[in-house]
Amino acid sequence: MNLLDVVPSHAAGTIAGWLRDRGEPAYRERQLLPRLWQRPVRRWADATELPTALRAALDEALPLPHPVERERQVSRDGTVKFLWEFPDGAAVESVLIPEGRRRTLCISSQEGCAYRCAFCATGRMGFRRHLSPWEITAQVREMVLDSALGRPTNVVFMGMGEPLHNWKSVDRALTILNAPEGLGIGARHITVSTVGIVPALAELAARPEQFRVALSLHAATSEQRLALMPVERRFPLHDVIETLRRFPKRVTFEYVMIRGVNDRDDDARALAGLARPLGALVNLLPLHPGGAPGMEPSGAERIEAFAAIVSGAGVSVTVRRSRGLDIAAACGQLRTEAEDRGGVAP
């Protein structure tokens, strides 16, 4: 039984039953459950408040799996990128972005990605496999285990993979991340970024928690989006926008600025026309250099002019600066580089 792969209420029930079968006092459950996520330990032997014999029995019957940190890169701007390897050799990335009191962790939901967006390094890798709930939440748990890193204030599903393609695992991971008995991160501080997988998007909208959603838009018309994102063929932009209307909180449009591709004035006006009826926030970000061979980021002046048009049309817009430019910070870059060096299995 992997206690880290189930929601906290299920884990509590399993622990209670296991303790009861051993004849242990009921209060042990109150000691064990916080050690999964609230005050986590890497293995039960580290929970020194428990008797030695009980810790040994727990490590044998209910071991706590964890990834191995294969690489860590630290940028001059404070961004930290991790490459995690799981027991079967699968490897994924996560990125910690500190900014004042805010500590945002960008996590992965798949090894690779099936959707092959033209500007994405992970897409060029192809799809390897889904991550299980514990593998998704382990990326956050590892931060809490390292006192030098600390608990993230915000979590964004913007790493490797398409979260809603792996909805079954992501759905459970959201509960583990948010539950007070879990990692205890507020729903409004958790953002799921998606290319727009409509059925799972509707299920996310139906959850009672106010999780944030960000649409990887990158083009304001169906025709232009299809040239960049093959998913448009299966889930047309019109259907995605209609589904986004079900979210009670403001949605965000993520828009990567690519020189000569989607950064014209007409593109800005079309984007504003799409965002205004939804009251969406538009988040502009330059294409990360090296993330997409053959494509270049829009220049700073072009981005500012583009933002001014969107803002002038009555739409809230932010311009996000690139982080980790001196490390392999585009999604999939570090994983691909490690594979080329033979550091992880292809």
Out of 106, 113, 117, 331, pick the active-site residue: 331
Residues, the chain: 346
Out of 24, 93, 162, 254, pick the active-site residue: 93
**CA-to-CA distance for 273 and 280, rounded, in angstroms?**
11
Distance of CA 322 to the CA centre of its chain: 17
Query: Dihedrals φ, ψ of 309, to 5°?
Result: -65, -45
Contact 200, 161 (CB under 8 A): no
Q: What token pair was written down for 98?
A: 């500190």
Q: Is 93 a catalytic residue?
A: yes
Compute CA distances 64 → 27, 83, 141, 144, whole Å.
Answer: 21, 20, 12, 15
**CA-to-CA distance for 107 and 65, rounded, in angstroms?**
18
Q: Is 331 a catalytic residue?
A: yes
| Residues carrying an active site annotation | 93, 331
